[in-house]
Structure 1
Amino acid sequence: MDNDTTTPDTAPAEPDTSSDPHFELHSARGPFNAAFFRVMGPYLESSLRRRKRQVFADLPRTVVEIGPGVGANLRYLGAGDTLVAIEPNRYMHDQLRDAARSHGVNLDLRERMAEQTGLPDHSVDTVISSLVLCSVQDPAAVLAEIRRILKPGGTFRFVEHVVADPGTPTRAAQRILRRPWAWTFEGCSCERDLEGCVRAAGFDTVAVEHYRVHTPFLPFNTHIAGTARA
């Protein structure tokens, strides 16, 4: 397990991981996705920035992020803040470390699956995610894990792409491209009703905004942003 040493005393302790689920590294897709999100990051950020600024406003000094990838959301943390990064894909790690240093953020990097973060019950104020729930193996298990680690009143803040409405051209594209899309982007599904998943996860309150981005990646263009409170 990879755990950077720049974590302050306030970060949750990290237990043994020997029985955790295993992330299967792929020697071709892993490096491709790390390079893709490094190159395409500014373009994607320009499409998502307005909602991210709303959802990720006023984050606490220590934040847990599931699937931070190469660090696209570090810009929403302040210098000296701590990111507890749940990132099982080692091909992302070097770029994530570099981005954390560039932003002056303390990085606690944990090579774990989002279904089992290893963090204590009710120990976290805020969990964030963007473009991640589409690719986890079990969204319901991940959301249950987020609820488990959040303190009462803590927030899960998310910006995700979701299934389009039935009968639309975007929905047709999602259906046609679902298999090559999932293979290329390491299990990413463009057909998940993630709003339904979040609402069914047992949070006290859920606020969701639907919106559309306009990119050449048609299956990717339907989105939600919101906050769920434990």
Structure 2
Amino acid sequence: MAEAAILFLRVCVQLLALPIYLLSFLGVWKPFGSKVFFPFFIERFSEHYNQKTSVQKWELFHNLREFTGSSKVLRLLEIGTGTGTNFQFYPPGCRITCSDTNSNFQRGLSKSMNQNQHLQFEHFLVAPAENLNQVADGSMDVVVCTLVLCSVQNVEDVLKEVKRVLRPGGAFYFLEHVAADHSSWSYFWQQVLYPTWKLVFNGCCLTREPWKEIEKAKFSEVKLRHISVPLWWTPLEAHVIGYAVK
């Protein structure tokens, strides 16, 4: 019964989004989405998201300095930097390397850089999270990703790259929206919206469970917990937050 309801409602949503499906079929939506719609949406959504998660982010990043290596300067790689909404949470003097698959966030990113002069910005890399070959092995003290693992091609491959670029004893910090409890209404609507949401929002998968890959990635220590973020108008309430030490 539930599966039939999900299928029916999924078709209804797809019919409502039919113009986007047609644009996708014609090859128009992807370039428009990545260059215009998604950067516009992310810049506005990120401000709202930071308001809802500011306490959690301060708590998450409060011990970043503890992972400073022998260079005495914290070297941090942020995967999926977007518009740079995490910069305000990083400690003064931190050396930042930014990476993203989408180079169209420059307006918002430049604004965030100008507002966070306490940081040292070193490089911006246009690269998929699964292939960060421009970053040397063991060259980072910390790797950060927030709202990234939902849209990568392969979470396991991303974690392999994270471990490669981290020095021994370095840490991987994450804050990700995830699949809700399978018995919940939230998960029901995640399944309904999944195909259309993924198309509209640049490959974002609503029903991923990345904590499973993190726990299997053979970090020496994993501190992870599940939280709820009150984003009532979206199916993104369920989150996982924490860090893992190489």
TM-score range, shorter chain: 0.7 to 0.9
Q: State the percentage of identical aligned residues.
A: 28
SS at 2:138's partner residue? coil
> Which residue does the alignment assign to 2:115?
102
Q: Structure 2 residue aligned with 1:120, among 136, 140, 144?
A: 136
Q: Give yes or no for the alignment of 1:92 onto 2:105.
A: yes
Structure 2 equivalent of residue 27 of structure 1? 31
Correspondence for 1:38 among 43, 47, 50: 43
| Equivalences, count | 206
1:26 to partner: Cα distance: 3.3
User: 1:152-189: per-residue Cα shift (whole Å, max 9, x none)?
Assistant: 11100111100111121010011000011111111111
1:162 aligns with 2:178: yes
Return the match for 1:51 from 50, 56, 64: 56
Matched, 1:75 2:88: yes
Give deviations 1:43-96, integer Å, cap 9, x for gaps: 111111121111112434321000010111011124543210111201113321
Question: TM-score, normalised on structure 1?
Answer: 0.85
Does residue 150 of structure 1 match 2:166? yes
Q: How far off its partner does 1:103 sit? A: 0.9
TM-score (norm 2): 0.79
In the aligned structure 2, how far is the partner of 1:212 from the partner of 1:56? 18
Alignment of structure 1 residues 132-143 onto 2, 5 Å: 132-143=148-159
Equivalent residue, structure 1, for 2:217:
201
Which runs of 5 or more residues in structure 2 are unaligned?
1-28, 66-73
Alignment of 1:211-222 (within 5 A): 211-222=227-238
Higher helix share goes to which structure? 2
Q: Which moved more, 1:203-212 or 1:215-224?
A: 215-224
Amino acid at match of 1:89: N
Q: Which moved more, 1:56-65 or 1:189-198?
A: 56-65
Evaluate the alpha carbon distance shift between residue 168 and residue 32 of structure 1 in structure 2; reply closer, same or farther with a 3 A threshold.
same
Cα 1:106–1:26, aligned 2, differ >3 Å: closer, same or farther?
A: farther
Assess if the C-alpha contact under 8 Å between 1:170 and 1:218 holds in 2: no
Q: Which residue of 1 aligns with 2:19?
A: none
User: Any conservation in 2 of the 1:126–1:157 contact (CA below 8 Å)?
Assistant: yes
CA displacement, residues 182-229 of structure 1 (integer Å, 9 cap, x when unaligned): 111111111111110111112111111111112233421100100111
Could you tell me how far apart the structure 2 residues matched to 1:162 and 1:40 are? 17
CA distance in 1, matches of 2:92, 2:225: 29
Please state whether the residue corresponding to 1:129 is helix, strand or coil. strand
SS at match of 2:153: coil
Larger Rg: 2
User: Quick check: 1:65–1:85 contact (8 Å CA) kept in 2?
Assistant: yes
1:88–1:218: structure 2 CA closer, same or farther, 3 Å change rule?
closer
